[in-house]
A and B are shown apart, each in its own frame.
Chain A
Protein backbone atom coordinates (compact mmCIF):
# COMPACT_ATOMS: atom_id res chain seq x y z
CA UNK A 1 0.00 0.00 0.00
CA UNK A 2 1.50 3.36 -0.99
CA UNK A 3 1.33 6.62 0.93
CA UNK A 4 -1.62 7.94 -1.06
CA UNK A 5 -3.69 4.84 -0.34
CA UNK A 6 -2.74 5.04 3.35
CA UNK A 7 -3.82 8.68 3.53
CA UNK A 8 -7.03 7.84 1.73
CA UNK A 9 -7.73 5.07 4.28
CA UNK A 10 -7.03 7.45 7.16
CA UNK A 11 -9.38 10.00 5.60
CA UNK A 12 -12.09 7.35 5.14
CA UNK A 13 -11.80 6.62 8.85
CA UNK A 14 -11.77 10.25 9.95
CA UNK A 15 -14.79 11.23 7.87
CA UNK A 16 -17.00 8.27 8.83
CA UNK A 17 -20.22 9.34 10.62
CA UNK A 18 -19.37 7.53 13.90
CA UNK A 19 -15.93 9.17 14.19
CA UNK A 20 -17.38 12.59 13.29
CA UNK A 21 -20.12 12.11 15.90
CA UNK A 22 -17.39 11.33 18.45
CA UNK A 23 -15.71 14.63 17.53
CA UNK A 24 -19.09 16.39 17.87
CA UNK A 25 -19.35 14.96 21.39
CA UNK A 26 -15.91 16.42 22.20
CA UNK A 27 -17.02 19.79 20.79
CA UNK A 28 -20.25 19.67 22.82
CA UNK A 29 -18.23 19.41 26.04
CA UNK A 30 -15.68 22.01 24.92
CA UNK A 31 -18.40 24.63 24.29
CA UNK A 32 -20.25 23.56 27.46
CA UNK A 33 -23.62 22.72 25.93
CA UNK A 34 -26.23 20.97 28.03
CA UNK A 35 -26.40 18.07 25.54
CA UNK A 36 -26.64 14.73 27.27
CA UNK A 37 -27.89 11.34 26.12
CA UNK A 38 -30.44 10.11 28.69
CA UNK A 39 -29.10 7.20 30.78
CA UNK A 40 -31.82 4.91 29.46
CA UNK A 41 -30.88 5.66 25.84
CA UNK A 42 -27.19 5.07 26.58
CA UNK A 43 -28.02 1.74 28.22
CA UNK A 44 -30.38 0.76 25.37
CA UNK A 45 -27.85 1.59 22.64
CA UNK A 46 -25.11 -0.41 24.38
CA UNK A 47 -27.48 -3.40 24.71
CA UNK A 48 -28.40 -3.04 21.02
CA UNK A 49 -24.75 -2.92 19.92
CA UNK A 50 -23.74 -5.94 22.03
CA UNK A 51 -26.68 -8.04 20.85
CA UNK A 52 -26.37 -6.99 17.19
CA UNK A 53 -22.66 -7.81 17.13
CA UNK A 54 -23.27 -11.13 18.89
CA UNK A 55 -26.01 -12.21 16.47
CA UNK A 56 -24.03 -11.25 13.36
CA UNK A 57 -20.99 -13.06 14.77
CA UNK A 58 -23.06 -16.17 15.49
CA UNK A 59 -24.34 -16.31 11.90
CA UNK A 60 -20.74 -16.02 10.64
CA UNK A 61 -19.46 -18.58 13.16
CA UNK A 62 -21.92 -21.13 11.79
CA UNK A 63 -20.29 -20.79 8.40
CA UNK A 64 -16.75 -21.32 9.77
CA UNK A 65 -15.14 -24.71 10.27
CA UNK A 66 -13.65 -25.73 13.63
CA UNK A 67 -10.17 -25.94 12.08
CA UNK A 68 -10.45 -22.32 10.83
CA UNK A 69 -11.37 -21.06 14.28
CA UNK A 70 -9.14 -23.17 16.56
CA UNK A 71 -5.80 -21.37 16.09
CA UNK A 72 -7.24 -17.83 16.25
CA UNK A 73 -9.08 -18.78 19.47
CA UNK A 74 -5.85 -20.14 20.96
CA UNK A 75 -4.05 -16.94 19.91
CA UNK A 76 -6.80 -14.84 21.56
CA UNK A 77 -6.55 -16.78 24.84
CA UNK A 78 -2.74 -16.45 24.97
CA UNK A 79 -2.94 -12.73 24.14
CA UNK A 80 -5.78 -12.21 26.64
CA UNK A 81 -3.50 -13.44 29.43
CA UNK A 82 -0.19 -11.99 28.20
CA UNK A 83 -1.41 -8.43 27.51
CA UNK A 84 -2.55 -7.52 31.05
CA UNK A 85 0.65 -9.04 32.49
CA UNK A 86 2.73 -6.95 30.07
CA UNK A 87 0.68 -3.82 30.91
CA UNK A 88 1.11 -4.39 34.66
CA UNK A 89 4.90 -4.64 34.45
CA UNK A 90 5.33 -1.89 31.85
CA UNK A 91 3.32 0.46 34.08
CA UNK A 92 5.77 -0.24 36.90
CA UNK A 93 8.59 0.99 34.66
CA UNK A 94 6.76 3.94 33.12
CA UNK A 95 4.68 5.31 36.01
CA UNK A 96 4.85 5.77 39.78
CA UNK A 97 1.48 4.05 40.22
CA UNK A 98 0.96 1.51 43.01
CA UNK A 99 0.04 -2.12 42.58
CA UNK A 100 -3.74 -1.64 42.87
CA UNK A 101 -3.92 1.08 40.19
CA UNK A 102 -1.56 -0.86 37.91
CA UNK A 103 -3.76 -3.95 38.28
CA UNK A 104 -6.86 -1.85 37.55
CA UNK A 105 -5.25 -0.48 34.38
CA UNK A 106 -4.05 -3.97 33.38
CA UNK A 107 -7.66 -5.19 33.67
CA UNK A 108 -8.84 -2.35 31.38
CA UNK A 109 -6.13 -2.94 28.75
CA UNK A 110 -6.46 -6.72 28.98
CA UNK A 111 -10.15 -6.49 28.14
CA UNK A 112 -11.46 -5.03 24.89
CA UNK A 113 -13.43 -2.07 23.61
CA UNK A 114 -16.61 -3.03 21.79
CA UNK A 115 -16.84 0.35 20.10
CA UNK A 116 -13.24 0.39 18.84
CA UNK A 117 -13.80 -3.12 17.50
CA UNK A 118 -17.03 -2.05 15.79
CA UNK A 119 -15.41 1.07 14.34
CA UNK A 120 -12.66 -1.18 12.93
CA UNK A 121 -15.26 -3.40 11.24
CA UNK A 122 -17.06 -0.35 9.80
CA UNK A 123 -13.68 0.91 8.56
CA UNK A 124 -12.85 -2.43 6.88
CA UNK A 125 -16.28 -2.57 5.23
CA UNK A 126 -15.87 1.00 3.92
CA UNK A 127 -12.42 0.06 2.61
CA UNK A 128 -13.81 -3.12 0.96
CA UNK A 129 -11.39 -5.33 2.92
CA UNK A 130 -12.72 -8.70 4.01
CA UNK A 131 -12.29 -10.27 7.45
CA UNK A 132 -13.33 -13.50 9.12
CA UNK A 133 -16.88 -13.40 10.51
CA UNK A 134 -15.83 -15.29 13.64
CA UNK A 135 -13.87 -12.28 14.94
CA UNK A 136 -16.84 -11.62 17.26
CA UNK A 137 -16.02 -14.92 18.94
CA UNK A 138 -12.52 -13.55 19.57
CA UNK A 139 -14.03 -10.33 21.00
CA UNK A 140 -16.10 -12.42 23.41
CA UNK A 141 -13.11 -14.56 24.39
CA UNK A 142 -10.92 -11.50 25.00
CA UNK A 143 -13.54 -9.68 27.08
CA UNK A 144 -13.00 -11.56 30.34
CA UNK A 145 -9.51 -13.10 30.90
CA UNK A 146 -7.79 -9.70 30.89
CA UNK A 147 -10.09 -8.45 33.66
CA UNK A 148 -9.46 -11.53 35.80
CA UNK A 149 -5.68 -11.39 35.29
CA UNK A 150 -5.64 -7.66 36.11
CA UNK A 151 -7.63 -8.18 39.33
CA UNK A 152 -5.37 -11.06 40.34
CA UNK A 153 -2.25 -8.98 39.71
CA UNK A 154 -3.67 -6.18 41.85
CA UNK A 155 -4.78 -8.12 44.88
CA UNK A 156 -4.50 -11.87 44.50
CA UNK A 157 -7.50 -14.04 45.32
CA UNK A 158 -9.29 -12.43 48.26
CA UNK A 159 -11.83 -14.98 49.43
CA UNK A 160 -15.54 -14.52 48.84
CA UNK A 161 -15.34 -11.02 47.44
CA UNK A 162 -13.21 -12.18 44.50
CA UNK A 163 -15.61 -15.02 43.78
CA UNK A 164 -18.59 -12.64 43.95
CA UNK A 165 -16.93 -10.20 41.56
CA UNK A 166 -15.94 -13.00 39.20
CA UNK A 167 -19.54 -14.16 39.09
CA UNK A 168 -20.77 -10.61 38.45
CA UNK A 169 -18.22 -10.13 35.62
CA UNK A 170 -18.86 -13.45 33.92
CA UNK A 171 -22.63 -13.11 34.24
CA UNK A 172 -22.54 -9.38 33.49
CA UNK A 173 -24.59 -7.97 30.65
CA UNK A 174 -21.69 -7.62 28.16
CA UNK A 175 -20.81 -11.30 28.26
CA UNK A 176 -24.44 -12.42 28.49
CA UNK A 177 -25.47 -10.35 25.46
CA UNK A 178 -22.41 -11.25 23.37
CA UNK A 179 -22.58 -14.98 24.15
CA UNK A 180 -26.39 -14.97 23.93
CA UNK A 181 -26.22 -13.15 20.60
CA UNK A 182 -23.63 -15.63 19.29
CA UNK A 183 -25.91 -18.53 20.24
CA UNK A 184 -28.98 -16.84 18.67
CA UNK A 185 -27.06 -16.11 15.46
CA UNK A 186 -25.57 -19.60 15.34
CA UNK A 187 -28.95 -21.29 15.82
CA UNK A 188 -30.98 -19.03 13.55
CA UNK A 189 -28.46 -18.90 10.68
CA UNK A 190 -28.64 -16.62 7.64
CA UNK A 191 -32.34 -17.32 7.01
CA UNK A 192 -33.40 -16.32 10.51
CA UNK A 193 -31.02 -13.37 10.51
CA UNK A 194 -32.56 -12.01 7.30
CA UNK A 195 -35.75 -11.36 9.31
CA UNK A 196 -34.03 -9.15 11.90
CA UNK A 197 -31.44 -7.66 9.55
CA UNK A 198 -33.35 -4.39 8.94
CA UNK A 199 -33.16 -3.69 12.68
CA UNK A 200 -29.82 -5.20 13.73
CA UNK A 201 -27.96 -4.61 10.45
CA UNK A 202 -29.63 -1.70 8.67
CA UNK A 203 -29.77 0.59 11.69
CA UNK A 204 -26.43 -0.50 13.12
CA UNK A 205 -24.17 2.34 11.97
CA UNK A 206 -26.81 4.90 12.93
CA UNK A 207 -27.02 3.55 16.48
CA UNK A 208 -23.22 3.34 16.67
CA UNK A 209 -23.09 7.00 15.63
CA UNK A 210 -25.45 7.94 18.48
CA UNK A 211 -23.41 5.89 20.95
CA UNK A 212 -20.18 7.55 19.82
CA UNK A 213 -21.73 10.98 20.30
CA UNK A 214 -22.22 10.09 23.98
CA UNK A 215 -18.74 8.54 24.22
CA UNK A 216 -17.32 11.74 22.73
CA UNK A 217 -18.97 13.68 25.55
CA UNK A 218 -17.73 11.22 28.18
CA UNK A 219 -14.22 11.45 26.71
CA UNK A 220 -14.43 15.25 26.56
CA UNK A 221 -15.13 15.34 30.29
CA UNK A 222 -11.97 13.27 30.89
CA UNK A 223 -9.71 15.47 28.78
CA UNK A 224 -9.24 18.13 31.44
CA UNK A 225 -7.76 15.42 33.68
CA UNK A 226 -5.27 14.24 31.03
CA UNK A 227 -2.77 16.93 32.01
CA UNK A 228 -2.83 15.64 35.58
CA UNK A 229 -2.18 12.06 34.45
CA UNK A 230 1.57 12.59 34.18
CA UNK A 231 3.84 12.00 31.20
CA UNK A 232 4.42 8.32 32.02
CA UNK A 233 0.73 7.41 31.91
CA UNK A 234 0.11 9.49 28.77
CA UNK A 235 3.04 7.75 27.03
CA UNK A 236 1.76 4.36 28.21
CA UNK A 237 -1.77 5.05 26.93
CA UNK A 238 -0.38 5.67 23.43
CA UNK A 239 2.58 3.26 23.28
CA UNK A 240 0.93 0.26 24.87
CA UNK A 241 -1.90 0.02 22.30
CA UNK A 242 0.74 0.06 19.55
CA UNK A 243 2.71 -2.74 21.26
CA UNK A 244 -0.38 -4.83 22.08
CA UNK A 245 -1.85 -4.13 18.64
CA UNK A 246 1.34 -5.37 16.97
CA UNK A 247 1.26 -8.50 19.15
CA UNK A 248 -2.36 -9.07 18.09
CA UNK A 249 -1.57 -8.62 14.39
CA UNK A 250 1.39 -11.06 14.67
CA UNK A 251 -0.79 -13.54 16.60
CA UNK A 252 -3.59 -13.29 14.04
CA UNK A 253 -1.21 -13.69 11.10
CA UNK A 254 0.52 -16.71 12.67
CA UNK A 255 -2.93 -18.23 13.39
CA UNK A 256 -3.65 -18.07 9.66
CA UNK A 257 -6.06 -15.13 9.61
CA UNK A 258 -6.48 -12.81 6.61
CA UNK A 259 -5.06 -9.26 6.64
CA UNK A 260 -8.45 -7.88 7.69
CA UNK A 261 -8.84 -10.55 10.39
CA UNK A 262 -5.32 -10.04 11.77
CA UNK A 263 -5.97 -6.28 11.84
CA UNK A 264 -9.16 -6.85 13.87
CA UNK A 265 -7.30 -9.05 16.36
CA UNK A 266 -4.73 -6.25 16.57
CA UNK A 267 -7.48 -3.73 17.32
CA UNK A 268 -8.96 -6.04 19.98
CA UNK A 269 -5.56 -6.33 21.67
CA UNK A 270 -4.84 -2.60 21.38
CA UNK A 271 -8.16 -1.41 22.75
CA UNK A 272 -8.98 -0.86 26.40
CA UNK A 273 -12.35 -1.62 27.93
CA UNK A 274 -14.61 1.07 29.34
CA UNK A 275 -17.79 -0.92 29.84
CA UNK A 276 -17.05 -4.31 31.41
CA UNK A 277 -13.71 -3.51 33.06
CA UNK A 278 -14.67 -0.28 34.90
CA UNK A 279 -17.62 -2.07 36.48
CA UNK A 280 -15.57 -5.10 37.51
CA UNK A 281 -12.66 -3.00 38.79
CA UNK A 282 -14.98 -0.69 40.75
CA UNK A 283 -16.55 -3.70 42.47
CA UNK A 284 -13.37 -5.68 43.12
CA UNK A 285 -10.84 -2.87 43.64
CA UNK A 286 -12.81 0.02 45.15
CA UNK A 287 -9.54 1.57 46.37
CA UNK A 288 -8.27 1.95 42.75
CA UNK A 289 -8.73 5.46 41.38
CA UNK A 290 -11.28 5.43 38.53
CA UNK A 291 -10.02 8.82 37.35
CA UNK A 292 -6.67 7.23 36.41
CA UNK A 293 -8.11 4.28 34.52
CA UNK A 294 -10.73 6.35 32.71
CA UNK A 295 -8.36 9.12 31.66
CA UNK A 296 -6.02 6.51 30.26
CA UNK A 297 -8.49 4.13 28.59
CA UNK A 298 -11.24 6.55 27.57
CA UNK A 299 -9.46 9.90 27.48
CA UNK A 300 -6.32 8.87 25.59
CA UNK A 301 -6.28 5.30 24.23
CA UNK A 302 -9.82 5.27 22.85
CA UNK A 303 -9.55 8.43 20.71
CA UNK A 304 -6.02 7.43 19.70
CA UNK A 305 -7.22 4.04 18.44
CA UNK A 306 -10.35 5.47 16.84
CA UNK A 307 -8.60 8.17 14.85
CA UNK A 308 -5.01 6.95 14.32
CA UNK A 309 -4.75 3.37 15.54
CA UNK A 310 -7.31 1.69 13.27
CA UNK A 311 -5.60 2.58 9.96
CA UNK A 312 -2.17 1.97 11.54
CA UNK A 313 -3.13 -1.59 12.57
CA UNK A 314 -4.28 -2.26 9.01
CA UNK A 315 -0.92 -1.07 7.65
CA UNK A 316 0.81 -3.28 10.25
CA UNK A 317 -1.34 -6.25 9.21
CA UNK A 318 -0.39 -5.73 5.57
CA UNK A 319 3.31 -5.40 6.39
CA UNK A 320 3.43 -8.30 8.84
CA UNK A 321 1.24 -10.41 6.55
CA UNK A 322 3.81 -9.78 3.81
CA UNK A 323 6.69 -10.96 6.02
CA UNK A 324 5.07 -13.88 7.81
CA UNK A 325 2.18 -14.85 5.55
Chain B
Protein backbone atom coordinates (compact mmCIF):
# COMPACT_ATOMS: atom_id res chain seq x y z
CA UNK B 1 0.00 0.00 0.00
CA UNK B 2 1.53 3.34 -1.08
CA UNK B 3 2.03 5.80 1.78
CA UNK B 4 0.68 9.23 0.74
CA UNK B 5 1.48 12.52 2.45
CA UNK B 6 -0.01 16.01 2.08
CA UNK B 7 2.03 18.82 0.49
CA UNK B 8 1.12 22.15 -1.06
CA UNK B 9 1.02 22.52 -4.85
CA UNK B 10 1.81 26.13 -5.70
CA UNK B 11 1.22 27.35 -9.27
CA UNK B 12 2.58 30.67 -10.51
CA UNK B 13 1.80 32.13 -13.95
CA UNK B 14 3.88 35.20 -14.75
CA UNK B 15 5.35 37.29 -17.54
CA UNK B 16 8.50 35.44 -18.57
CA UNK B 17 10.74 38.41 -17.86
CA UNK B 18 10.64 37.53 -14.15
CA UNK B 19 11.22 33.81 -14.69
CA UNK B 20 14.79 33.80 -13.37
CA UNK B 21 13.87 35.94 -10.37
CA UNK B 22 10.93 33.64 -9.54
CA UNK B 23 13.09 30.54 -9.78
CA UNK B 24 15.68 32.14 -7.49
CA UNK B 25 12.91 33.04 -5.02
CA UNK B 26 11.63 29.44 -5.03
CA UNK B 27 15.11 28.06 -4.38
CA UNK B 28 15.80 30.63 -1.65
CA UNK B 29 12.48 29.75 0.03
CA UNK B 30 13.41 26.07 0.21
CA UNK B 31 11.62 24.49 -2.78
CA UNK B 32 13.35 21.28 -3.87
CA UNK B 33 12.28 21.56 -7.50
CA UNK B 34 9.74 22.97 -9.93
CA UNK B 35 8.21 22.39 -13.34
CA UNK B 36 8.39 25.24 -15.81
CA UNK B 37 6.42 25.57 -19.04
CA UNK B 38 5.43 28.29 -21.48
CA UNK B 39 1.90 29.60 -21.05
CA UNK B 40 -0.51 31.61 -23.16
CA UNK B 41 -3.53 33.55 -22.03
CA UNK B 42 -4.89 36.88 -20.95
CA UNK B 43 -4.70 38.35 -17.47
CA UNK B 44 -6.11 41.45 -15.77
CA UNK B 45 -2.73 43.24 -15.76
CA UNK B 46 -1.70 42.46 -19.34
CA UNK B 47 0.62 45.14 -20.70
CA UNK B 48 -0.38 45.27 -24.35
CA UNK B 49 1.80 42.89 -26.27
CA UNK B 50 4.92 43.43 -24.24
CA UNK B 51 5.01 39.78 -23.19
CA UNK B 52 5.20 38.78 -26.87
CA UNK B 53 8.53 40.54 -27.18
CA UNK B 54 9.85 39.37 -23.87
CA UNK B 55 9.06 35.72 -24.53
CA UNK B 56 5.44 35.25 -23.48
CA UNK B 57 4.35 33.93 -20.11
CA UNK B 58 5.63 31.11 -17.97
CA UNK B 59 3.83 28.69 -15.67
CA UNK B 60 5.82 27.39 -12.73
CA UNK B 61 4.52 24.62 -10.49
CA UNK B 62 6.16 23.41 -7.34
CA UNK B 63 5.28 20.90 -4.63
CA UNK B 64 6.43 22.10 -1.23
CA UNK B 65 5.74 21.81 2.48
CA UNK B 66 3.19 24.29 3.90
CA UNK B 67 6.03 26.19 5.65
CA UNK B 68 7.92 26.68 2.37
CA UNK B 69 4.68 27.73 0.67
CA UNK B 70 4.28 30.49 3.28
CA UNK B 71 7.81 31.75 2.55
CA UNK B 72 7.17 31.69 -1.22
CA UNK B 73 3.91 33.65 -0.77
CA UNK B 74 5.77 36.24 1.31
CA UNK B 75 8.33 36.66 -1.49
CA UNK B 76 5.55 36.91 -4.09
CA UNK B 77 3.72 39.57 -2.10
CA UNK B 78 6.90 41.56 -1.42
CA UNK B 79 8.77 41.39 -4.74
CA UNK B 80 6.38 40.37 -7.51
CA UNK B 81 2.67 41.12 -7.03
CA UNK B 82 3.10 44.93 -6.75
CA UNK B 83 5.20 45.24 -9.90
CA UNK B 84 4.64 42.46 -12.40
CA UNK B 85 1.88 40.49 -14.12
CA UNK B 86 1.74 37.47 -11.82
CA UNK B 87 -1.09 35.11 -10.85
CA UNK B 88 -0.61 32.42 -8.22
CA UNK B 89 -2.73 29.86 -6.44
CA UNK B 90 -2.22 26.87 -4.21
CA UNK B 91 -4.00 23.71 -3.16
CA UNK B 92 -3.27 20.62 -1.13
CA UNK B 93 -2.22 17.45 -2.93
CA UNK B 94 -1.19 13.94 -1.91
CA UNK B 95 2.25 12.68 -2.91
CA UNK B 96 4.24 9.54 -2.42
CA UNK B 97 7.94 9.81 -1.47
CA UNK B 98 7.55 12.93 0.70
CA UNK B 99 11.34 13.43 0.93
CA UNK B 100 11.39 14.54 -2.72
CA UNK B 101 9.32 17.58 -1.85
CA UNK B 102 9.86 18.40 1.80
CA UNK B 103 12.71 18.47 4.31
CA UNK B 104 10.35 16.71 6.74
CA UNK B 105 10.17 13.58 4.61
Q: Give A residues with C-beta under 8 Å from B.
A: 39, 43, 164, 168, 218, 221-222, 225, 274-275, 278-279, 282-283, 286-287, 289-291, 294, 298
Q: Which residue of A lies closest to B40 (CB)?
A: A39
- Tell me, in angstroms, the Cα distance from A287 to B20 when the chains sit together: 20
Contacts of B17 in A (CB 8 A): 279, 282-283
B55 in contact with A287 (CB, 8 Å)? no
B54 in contact with A168 (CB, 8 Å)? no
Whole-angstrom distance between the Cβ of A225 and the nearest chain B Cβ: 7
Q: Which residue of B lies closest to A217 (CB)?
A: B52
- Tell me, in angstroms, the Cα distance from A275 to B55 when the chains sit together: 10
Q: Contacts A225-B48, A291-B48 hold; do A274 and B53 have CB atoms under 8 A apart?
A: yes
Whole-angstrom distance between the Cβ of B43 and the nearest chain A Cβ: 14
B49 in contact with A279 (CB, 8 Å)? no
Contacts of A278 in B (CB 8 A): 50, 53-54
Tell which of A225, A278, A286 has the most Cβ of chain B within 10 Å.
A286
Whole-angstrom distance between the Cβ of A160 and the nearest chain B Cβ: 11
B49 in contact with A294 (CB, 8 Å)? yes
Contacts of A222 in B (CB 8 A): 48-49
Please tell me the size bucket of the interface on B.
10 to 19
A39 in contact with B53 (CB, 8 Å)? no
Contacts of A294 in B (CB 8 A): 48-50, 53
- Tell me, in angstroms, the Cα distance from A283 to B82 when the chains sit together: 12
Q: Contacts A278-B53, A282-B54 hold; do A39 and B47 have CB atoms under 8 A apart?
A: no
Whole-angstrom distance between the Cβ of A106 and the nearest chain B Cβ: 18
Q: Does B76 contact A (CB under 8 A)?
A: no
Q: Give the number of A-B contacts (CB < 8 Å).
A: 46
Q: Contacts A294-B48, A294-B49 hold; do A286 and B56 have CB atoms under 8 A apart?
A: no
Q: Does B83 contact A (CB under 8 A)?
A: yes
Contacts of A290 in B (CB 8 A): 47-48, 50
Contacts of B54 in A (CB 8 A): 278-279, 282
16 more A-B residue pairs beyond the given contacts A279-B17, A283-B21, A294-B53, with a C-beta to C-beta distance below 8 A: A39-B55, A39-B56, A218-B52, A222-B49, A275-B53, A278-B53, A278-B54, A282-B17, A282-B50, A282-B54, A283-B17, A283-B18, A287-B83, A291-B47, A291-B50, A294-B48
Q: Does B84 contact A (CB under 8 A)?
A: yes
Contacts of A221 in B (CB 8 A): 48-49, 52
Whole-angstrom distance between the Cβ of B28 and the nearest chain A Cβ: 13
Whole-angstrom distance between the Cβ of A111 and the nearest chain B Cβ: 13
Whole-angstrom distance between the Cβ of A300 and the nearest chain B Cβ: 14
Task: Kindly supply a per-residue 1/0 record for chain B positions 61-84, scoring 1 wherever the CB is within 8 Å of any chain A CB and 0 otherwise.
Answer: 000000000000000000000111
Q: Does B38 contact A (CB under 8 A)?
A: yes
A43 in contact with B55 (CB, 8 Å)? yes
Whole-angstrom distance between the Cβ of A250 and the nearest chain B Cβ: 31
Q: Contacts A275-B53, A279-B54, A294-B53 hold; do A286 and B84 have CB atoms under 8 A apart?
A: yes
- Tell me, in angstroms, the Cα distance from A43 to B52 when the chains sit together: 10
- Tell me, in angstroms, the Cα distance from A298 to B50 when the chains sit together: 11
Give 10 pairs: A residue, B residue, CB < 8 Å, sorted on A. A39-B38, A39-B55, A218-B49, A221-B49, A222-B49, A278-B50, A278-B54, A286-B82, A287-B83, A290-B48
Contacts of B48 in A (CB 8 A): 221-222, 225, 290-291, 294
Contacts of B84 in A (CB 8 A): 282, 286
Whole-angstrom distance between the Cβ of A241 and the nearest chain B Cβ: 19
